[in-house]
Structure 1
Amino acid sequence: MIRSVVRGVGHYLPERVVPNEWFTTFLDTSDEWIVSRSGIERRHFAAEGQTTSDLAIRAATAALSDAGMVADHIDAVIVATSTPDLTFPATATIVQAGLGMTRGFAFDVQAVCAGFVYALSNADALIRSGQATRVMVIGAETFSRIMNWEDRTTCVLFGDGAGALILEAAEGQGTSADRGILATDLHSDGRFRDILQVSGGVSSSQTTGHLMMAGKEVFRHAVEKLAKSTLDVLEKAGVAIADVDRVVPHQANIRIITRTAQKLGLPMDRVVVTVADHGNTSAASIPLAMSVASARGDLSQGELVVTEAIGGGLAWGAVALRW
């Protein structure tokens, strides 16, 4: 059986670090209020003129270095983002050119905060079908560009950043002991699109719009759906929750992360948490967390890793892989 094995990871964060205190200069809020409700202490914002593709190229370059590869080793680039540089072409094609790739193909995936999980699933399908041998999967966002700075319930939660992961085809035995992606689980339900959305759009208003969220409703859906998707993907992979070495969740909110872990019966020392330093970077949060965890030695070859996310749509899902 062909498996999609992780060969390298990398990330990039903009230089500007924005502590919670910055928001107190123009909002009725406090560091204590933000931390108690989200676990976020700081986040990074892109510089003026710095685009999503700029962040993605930096993360991709780091992943190539980690893998010991060069750009022309890559057959495909998939960028998960909700904040593209342009309406079209795809940000992935801009990244492809920025990396100096002269072969292969590139496209974007838009599933908001679940985008990286969706992109991983697509990359795995390309590799299993033989259409690609090596795929660069990138999550990159500049959510600071779609914030309503008068809404203290949302603008304090998000940050900018990018993370990248390289998958390569390798032969496995078809068992849960194989390295690589073991199973994926994807879902969406458009009935709940109004509880997390951006108000603008090319077709509807010809504007970018601002992010809007019904926080309590999102929280309720997140814990229930993330826990179930995690259990479902583990069942597909033929493993149990007790076998999981690490969970790398979407870094939306520490309360969602901890409540989901509790629902699954997982101790927090198995959960990778970076939300305090990065905020919610949407599709970038999982690969960013993976790269940080790998750099600090929290992810080791052979470990069973589960990653899960939920975002606007609602769209959600999980991936089980052996690192």
Structure 2
Amino acid sequence: MTGSPALLEVSDLVKHYPVRSGVLRRIVGTVHAVDGISFSVGVGETLGLVGESGCGKSTVARSILRLVEPTGGTIRLNGLDITHLGKAAMRPSRRSMQIVFQDPFASLNPRMTAGDIVGEPLTVHGIATGRKKSERVAELFEQVGLRPDQMRNYPHQFSGGQRQRICIARALSLDPKLIVCDEPVSALDVSIQAQVINLLIDLQGKHGFSYLFIAHDLAVVAHISHRVAVMYLGRIVEVAEKTELFANPRHPYTQALLASVPLADPRAKRLKPMIDGDVPSPINPPSGCAFHTRCRHAMARCKIERPKLTETGTRHQVACFLNKETGLSV
């Protein structure tokens, strides 16, 4: 959504985890899960966050929601700095931020009915009780494509897609402004994935909230996102409008990701893979550009200096020393 005001602003976010060893559990190292990233999400916008497993995407999601405490950086929601708010002060902001987890079965309490699960946030935040609560839950069930009479069923009585719809209904219950989707369709069948993605798009059109959408599947990201941020080893290496990023990827890692996507048409031209080796350990990340150990274009400068996200076009930012207006040749 070009030009939309920022709902979420993340600046220099850092999350490190200590590595302990021995009988005395002394700290012997640090996992650099998130290593100083900045981005924003506009009102009514969907920002897709993509990258390999272990690059820190889920840690970013949990840090933004304060489910884990960030090591450094600033998180602003609607202009309010929520980075260091205490439990009581954070409570109003929690109503504005909700999450849909990857595994719908693991994120639902098997001892509670679906109706109780969706209605629990209404009770916790003192929004509705009794008949008013039941009516609100029934309304939410209908919004996500479930029948109100299914409110009495338990999670094991639903299919995987239906369980994820329950999770979406629970996220909607507090009328949030931001919903973080942490790979919400990766555990579902392909046909069900399309239904859930279309549901998320329809709900956004109706309610106007924003998504931070985390996924591995670039086709899913291309379908739902307005902008896309590419993450590698705890750092964001490229951010651009969806159509611009897929048509003109400028970072070698982004190009490698797109080159790895299977094409249905064998005659279609594809990008050449530009990546070697394995992902370095986040316990001992490379100096300079984190991608230089796998990049065929790496220079001496890349091993020393860390490139910053810089504008290379209209709303297109790349963290690479080789990039100019024309980008890298592929």
TM-score (norm. length: structure 1):
0.28
Structure number with bigger Rg: 2
With a CA cutoff of 8 Å and minimum separation of 6, indicate the structure with the bigger relative contact order: 1
- Normalising by structure 2, we get a TM-score of 0.27
